[in-house]
Amino acid sequence: MRIGIDMRVVPPQGPGQQRYLWRLGSWLAQRGHDVHYMTVLPQKAAPEAPAGTHVHDWHRHTASAVRGAVQDLALDALLLNPERSRPFRGIRANVLRAAYGTEQYLQKLRSFRNPLEYGMRKAIRALPWTLADMHWERQFYEGHRPFPDVIAQSGYMRDQILGSYRIPPEHVHVVHNAVDTEEYTPARRLALRDEMRARWQIPPEALCLLFLGHNFRLKGLWQMLQVLPRLGPLGRPVHLLVAGKGTGEPQRRKARRLVRSLGLERQVTFAGDVRPSLHAHAAADALLHLSWHDSFGFVSLEAMASGLPVVTTPYVGAAELIVNGESGLVVDPARDEAIIGAIRQLADDAFRARVGAAAAVEGARHDEPRNFAEVHAVIRTAVARGAGPITAR
C-alpha cells in the first residue's frame, strides 16, 4: 500500500506524538509499504527520511497546491490528525487519528478555574474562526463516504468522538498508545537516580513528585502547587520537580509567583524542558499527571513502563490502563482532598514499591510492535472499504 502520514515536525525533535508517527512510518516501510511523510510547517532541520520512506515538505504550498500534491501521490491510505490539519481541508482522509481531542469537546474548559477567564475562553468558541475550525473538523469525520476509520487512543476519546460526530461506532477503533519498552525500564531509571537527584539538588530522603508537561494549566500544575502546603507531616520532606517550559512567559511568571506566594521556593524546582524524559523519571518517586484533558497521555505510560507510580485523572485516556490503588491512582483534579490523599499514600515506601512494580508490568504490555500492528489492521480495514486512491473533494 501507498500510505501518507501527516506530520508536524520532521524529523521529530523529542518524544510524543511526532516521534511515534515517525517510528510507525518506519515500521510500515519495513513491511513493504510505500510510506510518505507530509509536513506543511517550516522545519528546523533538513528532513532525512528513514529507509523506505519519503518526506514531502509543503510549507510553501498554498492550500490548493497541498490538495493537488496529495492527489498526485495516489495514496491508498492517508493517516491524518483532524484537529491540526487545516491545510488538508477538503481532502478525503480514510484514516483519522484523534491525537489531541476534538474541537467540540468542552472538558478542556474546566481547567480555567477563574470564572472570568472561563467565560472569556467559552466566548472564544463562538468566534467565526473557531466555528470554522469546528466545521472543518466535523467534515473530516462526517463529510465523506465511505466514512473514515478513526483511531481513538483510548475508550475515553472514543466516547468523546461518538458524542461529537455522526459516525458509525464500528468505524471508531480504540488503539492505546505505545511506549519504547527498551528505553523506558525500571532498571534504566534506577541506574540514573543518584545522578539526576544531584543534578537538581533534590535531597536523597525527599519524596520527589514529578510534573511533566508544557501546559501548566491544562496538566494540573496549579492544583499541585496549591495542595503542597496542606499535606501535613509525612515523616519526610516533599519536593516537586517541574519538567516543562509552560506555554509561554506569562504562564512561567504565574508559576513562579504562585511558588513565592505559597512559600515553596525550597520545595519546587523548575527544570525546564527535560530530554530524555527518563532523566526526570529517574529523579522522581511518582508522577502526578493531574490533567484536565488528555486523549491518552504519553507521559503516564512512559512513567509506568519505568516503574514509576502514576497519579492521574479520569480525563486522561491512560487512566484506563490503571487499576486504581493497585497499579496507580486516579483522582478528580477538582478535588484537592483527593490529591492530598493520593500524595499521602505515596509517602509509604511499601505502597509505592508495590504500585510501581504493577505499573511496570502494565506499561511493558504496551510496546510499539503491538501498537503498530493494531494501527496496520485499521489501515487495512479502511482501504478494504474501497473508494479508491485519496483525492481532494
What confidence tens digit (pLDDT) does each residue in 38-57 have? Answer: 988 887 776 778 898 999 99
Q: Are residues 225 and 372 in the same domain?
A: no
In a domain, 389, yes or no: no
In a domain, 344, yes or no: yes
In a domain, 219, yes or no: yes
Q: Are residues 137 and 199 in the same domain?
A: no
Q: Are residues 59 and 145 in the same domain?
A: yes
Whether 372 shows a pLDDT value over 90: the answer reads: yes
Q: Are strands 310-312 and 172-174 parallel, antiparallel or unpaired?
A: unpaired
Higher pLDDT, 266 or 99: 266
Whether 367 shows a pLDDT value over 70: the answer reads: yes
Q: Are residues 255 and 224 in the same domain?
A: yes
Q: Are residues 156 and 80 in the same domain?
A: yes
Q: What is the domain-level CATH number for residue 56?
A: 3.40.50.2000
Which of 112, 131, 134 is closest to 121 using CA atoms? 112
- Look at 54-58, 136-140, 312-316 and tell me which has the smallest mean pLDDT: 136-140
Residue 215 main-chain phi, psi, to 5 deg: -95, 95
Higher pLDDT, 84 or 346: 346
In a domain, 390, yes or no: no
Residue 332 main-chain phi, psi, to 5 deg: -80, 125
Q: Tell me how far apart the alpha carbons of residues 321 and 154 are, in angstroms, rounded to a whole number.
A: 10
Q: How high does pLDDT run on average in the chain?
A: 91
Q: Are residues 106 and 194 in the same domain?
A: no
| CB contact set of 218 (below 8 Å; sequence gap of 6+) | 108, 111, 291, 292, 293
In a domain, 377, yes or no: yes
Whether 122 shows a pLDDT value over 80: the answer reads: no
Whether 120 shows a pLDDT value over 60: the answer reads: yes
Rg, the chain, Cα only: 22
Confidence (pLDDT) at 125: 72
Within 10 A of 323 (CB to CB), how many other CB atoms are there?
A: 12
Q: Are residues 233 and 171 in the same domain?
A: no
Task: Please state at what angle helix 336-346 crosses helix 349-365, rounded to 10 degrees.
Answer: 100
Quick: pLDDT tens for 271-297: 999 999 999 999 999 999 999 999 999
Q: Are residues 353 and 283 in the same domain?
A: yes
Q: Could you tell me the pLDDT band of residue 119, with boundaries at 50, 70 and 90?
A: confident
Quick: pLDDT tens for 175-201: 999 999 999 999 999 999 999 999 999
Domain around 255: 186-365
> What is the strand order of the sheet 329-330 is part of?
268-272, 238-243, 207-212, 286-288, 310-312, 329-330
- Look at 127-136, 171-180, 229-238 and tell me which has the smallest mean pLDDT: 127-136
Q: Tell me how far apart the alpha carbons of residues 265 and 11 are, in angstroms, rounded to a whole number.
A: 38
| Residue recorded with cell 484506563 | 320
Total domains in the fold of the chain: 2
Q: Are residues 357 and 378 in the same domain?
A: no
Q: Are residues 197 and 129 in the same domain?
A: no
